[in-house]
Amino acid sequence: MNMLTMRAGSAEYSVYVERGLLKSVPGRLKEMFPESRLAVITDDNVGSLYGQSFAAACETAGLRCDLFSVAPGEGSKSAGTFARLLSELAQHGYNRADVVAALGGGVVGDLAGFVAAVYLRGVKAVQIPTTLLAQIDSSVGGKTGINLPEGKNLAGAFHQPSAVFVDPSLLGTLSEADFADGMAELVKYALIRDAEMFEQLERFGAAPAGSDMLDSWIVRCLSIKRDIVAADEKDTGERMLLNFGHTIGHGIERLCAAKNLPMTHGRAVAIGMTAITSAAERMGLAKAGTAERIACVLHKTGLPYDISAYDKDEIWKGIVVDKKTLADKLTLVIVSEPGRAMLHRVAAADARNFL
């Protein structure tokens, strides 16, 4: 079992990582919260795979527990679903001593975390992430929230969980597409902070669910996130490094959404990481050959890397439509070589040159 201690502001909590951990979570929760009721929030996919048996195991462990399920997918990170869950907790009589457990991917984690942040002005939360992205990234660090019709993640709160339980064996049921999306974020972690992990990715490509290699990468990503969040909980400095590849990636996602082209967040970030590094090389900000190395790793892990099929003017329109980038200056993340990343402030107009 690996155990990491996360520190963010005054909050401190443990992140447990072990294959097969889910079975022991009900007993651990009973020890942590002996008098509490547990509201398990999940989605319909994860609910039928793991949620019902998890809720039954909680009852067996002596924890009073209810399962609340939402439709799978980004659409559930909405004000409507959020309000519905708050009402359901109230109708079930949940009080301030009770606990919300998020059992699912990043959508459920963000939504359930925000419910916990707001219900009765805040109740305790635990995260039980079930996608690769959620296990390496979104379940730790305390960012919670929902989307608004005007844009993604426009409402939310920082609300740190009381514990995070990562069971990598749950990744065995993940679709290939969802697994690849998580791999894109894993490659990002290697690129911003871990040259050795990047070299392993160069040698082996993606490691399958259930392998020791993947488990060790999950722990390495969580350690990087732990250090970054400890230095910058509220995302005003170093935490922005986690946005590597995301500015161009968001532009590509928007362009594809407008044209009804298939695209996922992880794939768009993969293309964005390669594109911005090519530009950084041209400007002398990155070591020659870095973009080529990134492209090779992405190719090996089954992810796209080539931006040439997409119209750059349209990607740019997708970038500036984002309200968060309307300021005069834009903070870009540049990887100068694998394992070394820096923030680079540019005038918004000059950012176009990075495409």
Q: Which residues bind ligand NAD (CB under 6 A)?
A: 43, 45-46, 49, 72-74, 77, 104-108, 110, 130-131, 133-134, 137-138, 141, 143, 153, 170, 173-174, 178, 181
174 vs 341, beta carbon nearer ligand NAD: 174
26 vs 106, beta carbon nearer ligand NAD: 106
What is the separation of C-alpha 47 from the centre of its chain, rounded to a whole number of angstroms?
Answer: 20
**Closest distance of CB 161 from ligand NAD, Å:** 11
Going from the C-alpha of 38 to that of each of 100, 103, 211, 319, the distances in angstroms are: 6, 12, 32, 41
**Closest distance of CB 328 from ligand NAD, Å:** 26
184 vs 286, beta carbon nearer ligand NAD: 184
**Closest distance of CB 110 from ligand NAD, Å:** 5
**Closest distance of CB 355 from ligand NAD, Å:** 23
74 vs 292, beta carbon nearer ligand NAD: 74
Spatial contact of 214 and 208, defined as CB atoms under 8 Å apart: yes
Sign of CA dihedral 32, 99, 14, 20: positive
201 vs 269, beta carbon nearer ligand NAD: 269
**Closest distance of CB 269 from ligand NAD, Å:** 10
